[in-house]
């Protein structure tokens, strides 16, 4: 359902997104049956393809050539996919979007080299681009994403963390890759420095808002909507915004303590969800997400007139306001 609505928003780009979807299939083809199976599994799980869409939309403001721009849109989605596969190892996650993760369906080892393979394929695509700036932006982003992996591990179950720690984490986990998608679309589209910077900042703000909403939904959506048990983030030790906004609550403290020992019962989970859902932390978190969203929309306003401006706004509002 969510995907359907987004597809409507993307309608102008439909045929180009189909091209990218086909390229992703090709990119994930390897000589190994095992990797093909794992990759097919990932492709079938789908996804909103938000990163490629932002690449295309940003490039539309300049010289748009799908045969060129796909070489940056495809690797950005591949990097995203690879990082999810490795993240599931780090978080020990068995489910994602209602499907078994690669590490659950096979094991950590298969997840490791499937992720490596996809990362490498991403790099391969980028080699066709003859602009050193593109390589530099992408490499820096990859470094920060890996740093993010590390920070996420360090911060697990850590009680003495603050909002700054959280924002630092979601920046690396989500915002940077969306920022780079917009920036690289703009760079490859040949936009001037000012507008590249605007789109880059737009991507960053949208990315922050996007991840905050994701972290809220992990508590407020149903297990079915999430495709995994609600509250999974906290179960895995990831202290997200709603928790930081009420972290001194005794039920939450007790829950984190139990989760760190892996001794959470189903009724513990229900109790924790009830506390979070009935608190004002959710409302406060939504307000913070909206702040980022407003900043994103301000960047759009500053862009030159173009039919894409409305689309950028619509997509930003959609992913910043989504209900699951």
Q: How far is the CB of 69 from a copy of itself (least distance, A)?
A: 18
Long-range Cβ contact pairs of 160-163 (< 8 A, separation 24 or more): 161/239, 161/244, 162/244, 163/241, 163/244
Which helix (H) or strand (E) covers residue 257, if one does?
A: helix 250-260
Q: Is 95 helix (H, G, I), strand (E, B) or coil?
A: strand
Question: What is the Cα–Cα distance from 194 to 120, expressed in whole angstroms?
Answer: 32
What is the closest distance, in whole angstroms, from the C-beta atom of residue 32 to a copy of itself in the complex? 4
In the bound state with a copy of itself, the residue whose beta carbon lies nearer, of 76 and 252, is 76
Judged by beta carbon, residue 40 or residue 146, the one nearer a copy of itself is: 146
Rounded CA separation 103/205 (Å) = 31
**Cβ nearer to a copy of itself, comparing 172 with 198:** 172
Binding residues for a copy of itself, per CB under 8 A? 30-35, 86, 89-90, 108-109, 111-113, 115-117, 119-121, 123-124, 126-127, 130-132, 135-136, 139-140, 142-143, 145-147, 149-151, 153-154
> Smallest gap, in angstroms, from Cβ of residue 39 to a copy of itself?
11
Per-residue tokens: 189: 């589209």
- CB-wise, 220 or 232, nearer to a copy of itself? 232
Whole-number Å distance between alpha carbons of 41 and 21: 14
Least separation in angstroms between residue 134's CB and a copy of itself is 9
Compute the least distance from the CB of residue 263 to a copy of itself, in Å: 21
Q: Long-range contacts made by residues 152-159, C-beta under 8 angstroms, separation at least 24?
A: 152/87, 152/90, 152/238, 153/90, 155/238, 155/239, 156/236, 156/237, 156/238, 156/239, 157/237, 157/239, 157/256, 157/259, 157/260, 158/239, 159/247, 159/253, 159/256
Nearer to a copy of itself, 154 or 192 (CB): 154
Taking the complex as a whole, how short is the minimal distance between the CB of residue 165 and a copy of itself, in angstroms? 12
Query: SS3 for 306?
Result: coil
Q: Which is nearer to a copy of itself, 126 or 245 (CB)?
A: 126
């Amino acid at each position: 359902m969510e995907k359907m609505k987004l597809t409507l928003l993307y309608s102008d780009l439909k045929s180009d997104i189909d091209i990218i979807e086909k390229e992703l299939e090709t990119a994930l083809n390897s000589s190994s049956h095992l990797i093909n199976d794992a990759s097919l599994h990932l492709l079938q799980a789908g996804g909103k393809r938000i990163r490629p869409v932002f690449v295309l939309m940003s490039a539309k403001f300049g010289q748009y050539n799908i045969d060129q721009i796909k070489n940056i849109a495809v690797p950005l989605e591949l990097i995203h996919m690879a990082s999810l596969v490795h993240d599931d190892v780090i978080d020990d996650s068995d489910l994602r979007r209602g499907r078994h993760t690669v590490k659950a369906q096979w094991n950590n080892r298969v997840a490791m080299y499937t992720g490596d393979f996809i990362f490498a394929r991403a790099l391969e695509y980028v080699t066709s681009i003859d602009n050193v700036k593109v390589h530099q932006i992408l490499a820096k982003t990859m470094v920060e994403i890996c740093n993010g992996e590390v920070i996420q591990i360090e911060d697990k179950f850590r009680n003495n963390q603050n909002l700054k720690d959280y924002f630092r984490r979601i920046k690396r986990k989500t915002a940077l890759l969306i920022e780079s998608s917009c920036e690289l679309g703009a760079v490859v589209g040949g936009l001037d420095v000012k507008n590249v910077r605007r789109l880059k900042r737009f991507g960053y703000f949208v990315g922050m808002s996007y991840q905050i909403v994701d972290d809220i939904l992990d508590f407020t959506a149903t297990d079915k909507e999430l495709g995994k048990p609600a509250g999974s983030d906290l179960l895995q030790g990831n202290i997200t915004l709603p928790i930081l906004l009420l972290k001194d609550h005794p039920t939450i403290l007790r829950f984190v303590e139990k989760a760190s020992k892996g001794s959470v019962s189903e009724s513990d989970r229900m109790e924790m969800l009830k506390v979070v859902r009935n608190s004002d932390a959710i409302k406060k978190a939504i307000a913070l997400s909206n702040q980022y969203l407003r900043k994103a929309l301000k960047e759009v306003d500053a862009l030159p007139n173009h039919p894409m401006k409305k689309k950028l706004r619509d997509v930003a509002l959609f992913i910043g306001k989504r209900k699951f």
